[in-house]
């Protein structure tokens, strides 16, 4: 068995933790968790998403997403409406206050990305994105076969 420190899951977790250390303090200033921010960011780029699509896009389990949606809705950052196609389904969208909050946080988030890019290098960061995307595509294709 390979060394614990050299396992792919551990390397990915260590990288994630190092990156998130740059973002979490700013999110906390706005009383947001990284998972809540993921939901706001995903919704910012859409007119609204059904809960299962939001769950998939944000890589959140439904019970966790349900709690997050309840919290964000109580803070008037998101709104929920019934789907026109299926009355049993909810469409989640950003409320005006959610849009305002994303616009406040976005410049700080971009500043952190700029710092990471400067520290790691643009080319290396782009290569990392490409390699991670390729890993996902190949592993998911393998699952389907």
Tell me the per-residue pLDDT of 101-136, one tens digit each, with 9 for 90 and over. Answer: 999 999 999 999 999 999 999 999 999 999 999 999
pTM of the model: 0.88
As a CATH number, domain 4-144 is: 1.10.10.10
Cα–Cα distance measured from residue 79 to residue 48, given in angstroms and rounded to the nearest whole number: 9
Give the H/E segment covering residue 94. strand 90-94
Q: Determine which of 3-12, 36-45, 66-75 has the lowest per-residue pLDDT on average.
A: 3-12
Q: What is the mean pLDDT of the chain?
A: 94
* Phi, psi (deg, nearest 5) at residue 95: -85, 170
């Amino acid at each position: 068995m390979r060394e614990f420190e050299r396992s792919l899951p551990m390397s990915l977790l260590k990288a994630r933790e190092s990156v998130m250390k740059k973002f979490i303090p700013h999110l906390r200033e706005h009383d947001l968790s990284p998972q809540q921010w993921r939901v706001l960011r995903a919704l910012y780029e859409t007119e609204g998403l059904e809960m299962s699509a939001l769950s998939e896009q944000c890589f959140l389990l439904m019970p966790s997403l349900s709690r997050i949606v309840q919290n964000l809705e109580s803070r008037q950052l998101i709104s929920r409406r019934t789907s026109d196609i299926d009355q049993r389904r909810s469409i989640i969208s950003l409320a005006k206050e959610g849009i305002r909050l994303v616009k406040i946080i976005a410049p700080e988030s971009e500043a952190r990305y700029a710092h990471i890019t400067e520290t790691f290098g643009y080319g290396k960061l782009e290569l990392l994105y490409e390699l991670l995307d390729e890993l996902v595509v190949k592993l998911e294709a393998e699952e389907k076969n």
